[in-house]
Amino acid sequence: MDYSNPSEPQNPGYVPPQPPTYIPPQQPPPPHHHPDNHNHHKSHSGWKIFWGIITVLSVIVNIFLFLMLMGMAVIAFSGRGERKFIEEVIQKGPVTTKIAIVSIDGIIDDQQARDVYWQLKTAREDKTVKAVIIKIDSPGGTISGSDEINNEIQRYRSESNEPVVAFMQAIAASGGYYSAVACDHIIAEPTTITGSIGVIMEYLVLQQLLEEKLGIQPVIVKAGAKKDWPNPFQKPTDEQLQYLQDRIIQPAYNRFVKIVIDGRKELDESNVRRLADGSIYWADEALKEKLIDEIGYLKDAVAKAKSLANIKNAQVIEYRRPFSFTDILSSKTNLKIDRRTLYETAVPQALYLWTGPQ
């Protein structure tokens, strides 16, 4: 039987058409990462980070230089070494009538004395200031610093003809009291420690430490038998101690007594010398002994200043040193050791200082 399709031509060489074959699209070959190209990319990123750091550092350096130039300009235009103070209002009142508060805070030294000088100078040049309150919280300090402050207060009183009230806070002892007696009136808080009228000198004898422990032998070349008295490298003799007592301690003590006698008219010399044995006094005892005039607080000092100045209303201000970039540029670390620090540490100093717990 013939099963061939009669519609198809009977051609022995005929090949029937085939359906199209599906060819999937070819994926592009993965890129070939050459090791050199990878290293080049990392190197390029490293340079970007490096230049970024350089840019940031450059900006910081330029800001610092700008601030330094500004600080130098401030020094040039305001006067080198001059200390400017700003006013902080403590109690509101008429701006044409002021009571200025001048602060003595901490150990009294040359720096403290200069600060008081500039505060009083600011008050003296301000014609609206009608009275001054000296606010004291100090155990005293150097003899010269205490004496300079006392002198500046007296100078202010004589040149301005305005009243000055001392207001004692926690401690106003020794050099702190030395400063207070220059004022017209002294008010102390109920818990104030004051007094300590006297002089003290302390120093260390380093001979045994240097020679026996460290094997260091100090060498001193001098002309004059007493040139190195007192000598921290040798134990003092009785003669040397008496020499210090006669030449330094006693004159400084007599000066302190005279200052108290001049400042406290209520006390004669015998009473001052009786009190001037270095003793400290609580406020109520100091009042009883007439070392102070009144016990009270700041509001009482303000009221007394108004009364002495014969004014009813006043704006109470306190002088404060403003922050400036020059303080940053000229700041000194407490850990800095220079020739002056070594000198002050090694050389004994006579002080108007209460060395008790504070």
**CA 149 – CA 114 distance, rounded (Å):** 8
Token pair for 106? 């901490």
- Reply yes or no on whether 174 is catalytic: yes
Token pair for 352? 């108007």
Q: How far is CA 131 from CA 39, 169, 181, 296, 351, in A?
A: 78, 19, 16, 18, 30
Looking at residue 272, its amino acid is: V
Q: Give the distance between the most distant pair of CA atoms in the chain.
A: 164
Instruction: Count Cβ atoms within 10 A of the Cβ of residue 17 and give its class: 0-12 exposed, 13-18 middle, 19 or more buried.
Output: exposed
Q: Which of 174, 179, 304, 306 is catalytic?
A: 174
Q: Which of 84, 227, 288, 312 is catalytic?
A: 227
Closest CA to 124 of 161, 77, 78, 166: 161
Strand locations in the chain (E): 86-91, 98-105, 129-138, 140-142, 164-173, 185-188, 193-195, 200-202, 280-282, 294-295, 315-320, 349-353
Catalytic positions, written as ranges: 174, 227
